[in-house]
């Protein structure tokens, strides 16, 4: 039993080391795209904070979702945020599953490059939209009489660029159309829809996206229009941006020998073969998969029978 556990642990460690080696090479080639995506996240945060200075609390607008969905109340508003956090963490963990599980279809670096591209396009549209028209926030801390409804005049220009995470994100006002929570949720669900392998999880993801939409409105974080616009905007953005991006390399066994380690600068065929062996647990040459048959106690290649001419002549 201990031998079996040790052998499996050794395989797992080899798999992790191999994945790390591959992902480091991919990171060296694609770090600019990842950095650009992270910078865009910061720009989006700065834009959401700066629009808070222009927010003017007022009467809550008439909203069909507010009539249909009962208000959760300030003490239960955390339910929406809890579900969003669970979706975010679950997706992030899934993107790192190739380091542990044998069923690998994605590369972590490449999938995050793709996700950040979707987020970048959607968030640029969101910034343009909520800067065009500022609506009175329906959230509890954005209503008239709340100290958090408006931000005091900044003491310096640099103060605007301080996002104050996570307090500034949770208690922002004015960045309404359209919902940032739905941007992330729909991007994650659509990405898993394309690259995930379990149908039940795909169905669960769409169900959670619908529940997240209802909870956002019920907790009064957004108007219904913010959620509705997010649904068709994000789906269209992902659809068109995905067509412009190069498709992810195929991680199937048939393509592994030629794709790994996926570095245009690495022309060492021996390294490719070693990576293939580590990832797929094969000790033979992946290119050599000839059918072998056994005849008269001897194993031959391609089913060809080789006779011993000397033994026949002596007979």
Q: Which residues contact 25 (CB under 8 A, 6 or more apart)?
A: 261, 262, 263, 266
Cβ neighbours of residue 272 under 8 Å, at least 6 residues apart? 257, 258, 260, 261, 266
For 72-89, what is each residue's pLDDT tens digit? 988 888 899 999 999 999
| Confidence category of residue 166, pLDDT binned at 50, 70, 90 | low
> Where are the domains positioned within the chain?
30-256
Confidence at 100, pLDDT banded by 50, 70, 90: confident
| Confidence tier at 295 by pLDDT (50, 70, 90) | very low
pLDDT at residue 313 is higher than 60 = no
> What is residue 113's predicted lDDT score, i.e. its pLDDT?
95
Residues annotated as part of the active site: 181, 222, 226
DSSP code string of 176-228: -SS-HHHHHHHHHHHHHHHH---HHHHHHHHHHHHHHHHHHHHTTSS-HHHHH
Among 85-99, 156-170, 227-241, the range scoring the smallest mean pLDDT is 156-170
- Nearest Cα neighbor of 279 from 304, 255, 305, 256 is 256
Which tens digit of pLDDT belongs to each residue from 87-98?
999 999 999 988
Whether the per-residue pLDDT at 197 is higher than 60: the answer is: yes
Q: Which class for 21: exposed (0-12), middle (13-18), buried (19 or more C-beta within 10 A)?
A: middle
Q: Rounded to two decimals, what is the model's pTM?
A: 0.76
The mean pLDDT of 133-157, rounded to a whole number, is 87
Asked whether the beta carbons of 173 and 139 are under 8 A apart, the reply is yes
What's the rounded Cα separation, in Å, for the pair 275 and 35? Answer: 27
Q: What is the rounded distance in angstroms from the CA atom of residue 233 to the CA atom of residue 236?
A: 5
Which DSSP helix (H) or strand (E) runs through 127? helix 108-132
Token readout for 201 is 């999880």
**Do 52 and 174 form a contact (C-beta atoms < 8 A)?**
yes
Q: Hey, what are 280's tokens?
A: 């797929």
CA 109 – CA 94 distance, rounded (Å): 12
| Span of 36-50, 62-76, 125-139, 283-297 with lowest mean pLDDT | 283-297
167: exposed, middle or buried (C-beta count within 10 Å: 0-12, 13-18, 19+)? exposed
261 prior amide bond cis, ω within 30: yes
What is residue 129's predicted lDDT score, i.e. its pLDDT?
95
Per-residue pLDDT of 246-291, as tens digits, reads 888 877 643 444 344 444 444 455 555 555 554 554 544 444 444 4
pLDDT band at 8 (very low <50, low <70, confident <90, very high): low
Average pLDDT of span 43-50: 91
């Amino acid at each position: 039993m201990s031998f079996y556990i040790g052998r499996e642990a050794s395989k797992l460690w080899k798999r992790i080391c191999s994945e790390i080696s591959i992902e480091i090479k991919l990171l060296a080639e694609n770090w600019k795209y990842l950095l650009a995506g992270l910078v865009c996240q910061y720009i989006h945060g700065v834009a959401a904070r700066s629009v808070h200075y222009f927010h003017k609390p007022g009467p809550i607008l008439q909203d069909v979702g507010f009539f249909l969905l009962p208000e959760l109340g300030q003490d239960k508003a955390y339910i929406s945020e809890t579900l969003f956090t669970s979706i975010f963490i679950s997706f992030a963990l899934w993107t790192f599953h190739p380091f542990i599980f044998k069923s690998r279809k994605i590369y972590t670096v490449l999938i995050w490059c793709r996700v950040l591209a979707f987020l970048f396009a959607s968030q640029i549209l969101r910034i343009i939209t909520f800067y065009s028209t500022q609506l009175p926030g329906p959230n509890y801390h954005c209503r008239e009489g709340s100290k958090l409804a408006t931000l005091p005049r900044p003491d310096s220009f640099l103060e605007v660029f301080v996002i104050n995470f996570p307090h500034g994100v949770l208690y922002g006002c004015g960045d309404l159309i359209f919902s940032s929570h739905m941007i992330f949720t729909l991007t994650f669900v659509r990405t898993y829809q394309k690259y995930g392998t379990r149908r039940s999880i795909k169905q669960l993801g769409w169900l959670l996206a619908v529940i997240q939409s209802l909870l956002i409105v019920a907790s009064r974080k957004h108007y219904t229009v913010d959620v509705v616009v997010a649904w068709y905007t994000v789906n269209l953005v992902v659809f068109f941006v995905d067509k412009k991006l190069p498709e992810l390399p195929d991680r199937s066994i048939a393509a592994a020998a030629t794709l790994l380690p996926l570095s245009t600068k690495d022309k060492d065929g021996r390294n490719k073969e070693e990576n293939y062996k580590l990832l797929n647990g094969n000790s033979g040459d992946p290119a050599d998969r000839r059918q072998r048959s056994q005849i008269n106690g001897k194993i031959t290649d391609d089913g060809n029978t080789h006779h011993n001419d000397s033994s026949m002549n002596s007979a």
